[in-house]
Structure 1
Amino acid sequence: MENLLIVDGMALLFRHFYATAMHQQYMRNSAGTPTNGVQGFIRHVATAVRDTEADHVIIAWDMGAVTFRNEISDAYKAHRQAPPEEMNPQFAHVQQVSQELGFHNIGVRNYEADDVIGTIAKQLEGDYRIKIISGDKDLLQLLDDRIEVWLIKKGFSEYNIYDEARFQAEYGLNPAQLIDVKAFMGDTADGYPGVKGIGEKTAIKLIQQYGDVENVISHHHELPKGQQTKIKTSYDDLVMSLKLAAIHTEVPLNYEEIMQSMPYVADTVHMCEVCDMHELKVARNYLMKL
C-alpha cells in the first residue's frame, strides 16, 4: 500500500515565519520581499517527503478567514490578531512556489484546511497509508488504523507521532470522542467557550464514562450538583461548541483530479531550479544536502 502525505500548509508557513522572524531574519529577496516562511515551508515539506517515504503529496490550504463556522458563531477565531506585514506577501507566494515544486495544492472556500485534510483522509484511507503533518491537535480526531497524525515538535524532522493505539492508550478514548471532549472544555485559541468551569481532565472523565455529549446530558442527574449546574448554565455554548469542534469530512472535492495530481517523485534538480527562480537561496542550499 502506498503512502499519502497530507500537509497543513499554513501550519508550516506560520511556524517557520515566526521561527526566524523573532531574530528579524526575514530573508528578503532582491525586491525586498520577505521569504523566510516560504523557505521554511520548502525545507520542511522536502524533509517530510523523505521521512514519510511519500508516494503522493497533498498540501491543504486555508482560503480566507471566514468559513461556515463563522455562521455558527461570530466569535469563532474572531479575536486572532492580523499577521505581521512581513508575512502578508508570503501567503500567495508560498502557494505559487508549492505548485511549481509539483505538490498538489487544495483549498476550498468556506472550509478550513483541517476540513479538506479530514475529507481526503477519510475518503482515501481504504487505498493508502495516510500521514498528516500539522501543529493542530484537533486533527487527532481523524486517527484510525490507516491514518497517522504527525504533530510538529521541533525543527524539520521532530514530531509527536500519533496512531490510533497511542491515542487510546493516552486518553482512554476513541479518537472521534475528542470532539465531545473539546465541546466540554472549549478552545480559547479558536474562540469557542465549551462549559465554563469544566477543563480537560473533567471533560475526558465525562466522555470516558458516558461516551458522548448527548449521553452526558441524558444522565446529567447522575452528576455532582456542581457539574449539573455548569452544564445547565452553559448548555447552549456546549451544543454550539460540539458543532465547532468537529472537523467536517464532507467537503465537495474532485477526487478524479486529486488522484491524477497527487503522485509525487522528488526531483532535487527541479526543486533547486524553482528556488533559484524565486531567489530562495537558503532553501536551495538545504535541498542540496538532503
Structure 2
Amino acid sequence: MNRTGDTVLLVDGMALLFRAFYATSYGGYIMKTSAGIPTNAVYGFVKYFWDAVDTFNPSHVICCWDMGSRTFRAEKFDGYKANRAEPPGELIPQFDLVKDVVASFGVPNIGLEGYEADDCIGTLSRKHAEQSHVFVLTGDRDMLQLVDENVHVIFMKKGQSNYAVYNPDTLFAETNLKPAQIIDLKGLMGDPSDNYPGVKGIGEKTALKLLQEFESVEGILENIQSLSKSVRNKIESELDMLHLSRDLATIRRDIPIECGLHECVWSPDPESVRGMFETLEFGGLLKLIS
C-alpha cells in the first residue's frame, strides 16, 4: 500500500544515456563544447530525464548506473555480455559528465561494483515500494519482472512524452505473462543481447506456450513427461543452462545499497542547474529552469 503519498522515480541512467547518444549521433554529428568535450549524450539524457520528471511528477528521484566493472553474472558465465562492443569513444567521457549533471539536480547517483544498474533499481524498488509508489524509467524489458501493484515500469517510446506504463494488468494484457514469468521466459529462450543461450532450440513461441500451460519452470519440469519428445529432450539436455540462464536473468533485489527518501527529494536548486548548463554550453536547455 502507498502509505505516504510519495512517488519515487528510479531512473535507469545507462538506458537513457545510450539511447540519447545514438539518437543524436546517427548522422555523424557529435555535439561538443567549445573546448572539444563531447556532450551529445548528456544533452539528450537531460531532455529525456526532464520530460519524464515533468510527465510523472515524482516527489523523489534516484538515478542508477552500471559501474563498468566485471559483474557477478560474468563470474557465473564467461559469455555474459561478451558480444557487446566497446562504447564509442565520444561516449566514454560522458559517463562521468552525466553523473555530474545528475548531481547538479540534487539527485543521487547510485551504483555498486560487481552489480548492474538493474540490481540497484530492483533493490531500491523493493525498499521504497513498502511505503511509496515507485516508477522505473527504462528501455530494458528485463525490468518488467519488477512490476507489481506498487511498482510500475515506464518505457520510453518514440517521440517526446510518449511512454508505455506497465502495471500487472497492462503487462498481462500485452504479454499474457505475470512479472515473475519474465524471468522464466528468459531462462527458457535465453537473451541474445546479454549473450546467454537458455535452452538450445527453444524459441519465444515455444517458451510462451510452455509457461502459459505450466506457469513456471518448476511446473514445466514437474510435467516434463507430458511434453513432446522433441521439447522434452531439448530441456533435459540443457537443464544446467536453463537454471543458469534463469539466474542470470533474475534482477537482484537485496544488494547492499541504501538511499533513503530524505536523500532523494526532487527539489533542484535552479542556480546549481543553471551553472552546470552554462558550463556545458546547454543554452537551449536553460528554459527548463526558467
Fold equivalence (TM over 0.5): yes
Q: How does 1:33-112 map to 2 (within 5 A)?
A: 33-112=37-116
Task: Give secondary structure in 2 for the equivalent of 1:203.
Answer: helix
Residue 263 (1) aligns with residue 265 (2):
yes
Of residues 130, 134, 137, the one that matches 2:134 is: 130
Question: How far off is 1:180 after superposition?
Answer: 0.6
Distance of 2:281 and 2:200 partners within structure 1 = 50
1:191-219, CA deviations, whole angstroms, 9 ceiling, x for partnerless residues?
A: 10011121112112211222211221221
Hey, what's the Cα distance between the residues in 2 that align with 1:51 and 1:260?
Answer: 22
* Counterpart residue number, 2:178: 174
Among 204, 207, 218, which residue is 2:222 paired with?
218
Q: Is the 8 A contact 1:185 1:195 kept in 2?
A: yes
1:169 and 1:42 mapped to 2: Cα distance?
32
Matching of residue 30 in structure 1 with residue 7 in structure 2: no
Superposition deviation, residue 38 in structure 1: 0.5
State the one-letter code of the partner of 1:89: P
Distance 1:119 1:130, change over 3 A: same
Q: Distance in 2 between matches of 1:77 and 1:27?
A: 29
Q: Is the 8 A contact 1:35 1:90 kept in 2?
A: yes
Scaled by the length of structure 2, what TM-score is found?
0.94
Deviation at 1:279, TM superposition (A): 2.1
| Worse-superposed segment, 172-181 or 47-56 | 172-181
Q: Quick check: 1:161 aligned with 2:165?
A: yes
Q: Show structure 2 runs of 5+ residues with no match.
A: none
C-alpha distance in 2 between matches for 1:156 and 1:14? 17
1:196 aligns with 2:222: no
Separation in 2, partners of 1:254, 1:131: 17
Per-residue deviation, residues 153-187 of structure 1 (Å, max 9, x unmatched): 12442112111111122333321111011100100
Q: Which deviates the most, 211-220 or 124-133?
A: 211-220
One-letter amino acid of the counterpart of residue 214, structure 1: E
Give the Cα separation in 2 of the matches to 1:108 and 1:240: 22
Of 2, 9, 25, the match for 1:5:
9
In 2 relative to 1, CA 266–97 (structure 1 residues): closer, same or farther, beyond 3 Å? Answer: closer
The one-letter code matched in structure 1 to 2:88 is P
- Offset, 1:101: 1.9
Asked if structure 2 preserves the Cα contact closer than 8 Å seen for 1:118 and 1:249, the reply is yes
State the 1:271 CA deviation: 2.2
Aligned letter for 1:109?
E
Post-superposition Cα deviations, 1:245-275, rounded to whole Å, max 9, x if no partner, equal: 11011110134xx322111124555422320
Structure 1: 5+ residue stretches without partners: none
Percent identical: 42
2-side partners of 1:10 and 1:156: how far apart? 19
The reply on whether 1:279 has 2:281 as its aligned counterpart is: yes
> Residue type of the partner of 1:253?
I
